[in-house]
Structures are given as structure tokens and as C-alpha cells.
Amino acid sequence: MVKGITRQVILVKSPDPRLFEEAIFIVKEEALAREGVSADKVLREARQAANGYLKQGRAWNRRLERIPAPFWSLLGAAAASAGWAVWLLLL
């Protein structure tokens, strides 16, 4: 469904195109009407938010990559075994 509302949107290109093409920020209507808020400041905030999100995701990926593959295999086997055990107990 399409509404007849126009909004101001900021598109921020991704520094890492393997993950995202761009981030889309919808600007609040009253944001630019406030004193001391310029279009440059809004754009800077959008870039900081996008960069912060990407940095946060990379930190989690680094932590998960440190865990060796055999651990993930054991975790998967344990989860499958637990699933089967619960299924058998419910029959």
C-alpha cells in the first residue's frame, strides 16, 4: 500500500560493498526545522550511525571467527542429539 506522504531520505553508500550497497535513513520532519541543525550535520550523523553499525557487526564476526571449527561441529551434534532426545521423550 502506498501513502501520499513525502519524506526526506538520506542514502549513505557502504564502505564495504560486499555486505551492503547503501543505508537508507528517513529524516524526521522536525529535524531540519530545529535551530542549529543543518543538512551537513544530519548527513554526518547518518554516516556515523552507518559506520558504527558496520564496526559493531565486524566485531562480532571477529569474535565468532576465533572459535575453532570443531567446537561448532560439537555444538551442532549436541543440538541435534538434544532435539532427538526431546522428540523421543515426548512420544
Q: Regarding predicted confidence, which is higher, 1 or 79?
A: 79
Strand partners, 22: 13
Question: How far is the C-alpha of 80 from the C-alpha of 52, rounded, in Å?
Answer: 36
- In tens, the pLDDT along 20-74 reads 778 788 777 777 677 777 778 877 887 787 777 766 656 666 677 788 888 889 9
pLDDT at position 1 is 58
Put simply, whether the predicted model's pTM sits higher than 0.85 gets the answer no
State the cell numbers at 41.
550535520
